[in-house]
Amino acid sequence: MAKSKYLAGKKIIPQPIPKGIKVTDLIDNYFQAYNAARLREAAQLFAQKMLDPDVTIGMSLTGALTPAGLGGSCVVPLIKAGFVDWIVSTGANLYHDTHFAIGHSLHKGSPFVDDRVLRKEGIIRIYDILFDYEVLLSTDSFFRHLIAQPEFQKEMGTAEFHYRIGKYVAAREKALGINHSSVLAAAYRCGVPVYTSSPGDSSIGMNVAAMALDGNGLKLDVSRDVNETAAIVLNAKKKGGRSGVLIFGGGSPKNFMLQTEPQIQEVLGINEKGHDFFVQITDARPDTGGLSGATPSEAVSWGKIDPNKLPDTVVAYLDSTVAMPLMTSYALAKRRPRQLKKLYHQLPELMSALKKEHNKSKYKVK
């Protein structure tokens, strides 16, 4: 009898895991079914296809990832290797990552503690991460001191804001002899633009708001962020390259990254088809609205994903704090570093190209 096409996959082999196995071998050969298999597919898609030189990769970060050390352990190595070209993050991830860069410590703890006692002792808890309340006050003071500097007394997008902040964070790390290298410091050094889709929704935004009460001139231009991110994606496609998104979590950063294609096609009226690669790690469900209407197949209906590229999409339903270290280790082992694209330094040119394409559009407002 002819063998069914549904039996063309590799056989599941229940062989013992050897001692001292490499992460790459573990993922390739022992992540065989369920979300282990989806994680294998995500790691392989990222390393085998998305890291080709012509692919521009955007990463979104949601959830309290940097307090768990994932900024320095995963995001920074990916930035330095040229495996991430632009980032959309919650402000909270950037704020908490700065604690490490300015000399503070966060500690492993238990989620099963009495928070009333912690409050009395001045201890902050993020699930099983514990740190002193003074860490917040010191970090707030650090950001307010920077925001008060003359170079911040103007309107700017969040990419420029984070780039300027990153310069000072990098200098503080150097002065303290800290080798952690925060996300903002690494992005500054590597020219990776970092955006926050909801700049008021974090302690950084709260401090910007507090300084505004005192007459500070900083204003964050969210419209510029929308257009710059669209310009990054359009540039990747117009130059004959491809665009990929690597999404950890969901929420506003995820949608902000994916809406670049509807912004290009629907709003600006520029002929485009959607992102070429889509990898998401999430614990949300589409039937409750938790995936924001953007599983890969749904995203096709919005123009966010090229319909011809659905085979190059993976959603793995698991904890980002489990997936990110495994995928980072896998990618660094499988691929050599890529040449840095340094997109931050190209933003004026990319915005000019976006405007030219929009001016040719039949949808242009007159």
Query: Does the annotation mark 237 as catalytic?
Result: no
Long-range contacts of 106-110 (CB under 8 A, 24+ apart): 106/67, 106/69, 106/130, 106/131, 106/135, 107/131
Give the Cα separation of 278 and 57 in Å (integer).
Answer: 10
Helix (H) or strand (E) holding 31: none
Tabulate helix, strand, coil % of the chain (nearest 5): 55, 15, 35
d(CA 102, CA 66): 14
Among residues 304, 309, 355, 356, the one annotated as catalytic is 304
Report whether 237 contacts 269 (CB < 8 A).
no
Residues belonging to the chain: 366
Among residues 152, 254, 170, 257, the alpha carbon closest in space to that of 207 is found at 152
β-bridge pairing 129-132 and 123-126: antiparallel
Tell me if 168 sits within 8 A of 60, measured CB to CB: no
- Which residues are catalytic, by number? 304
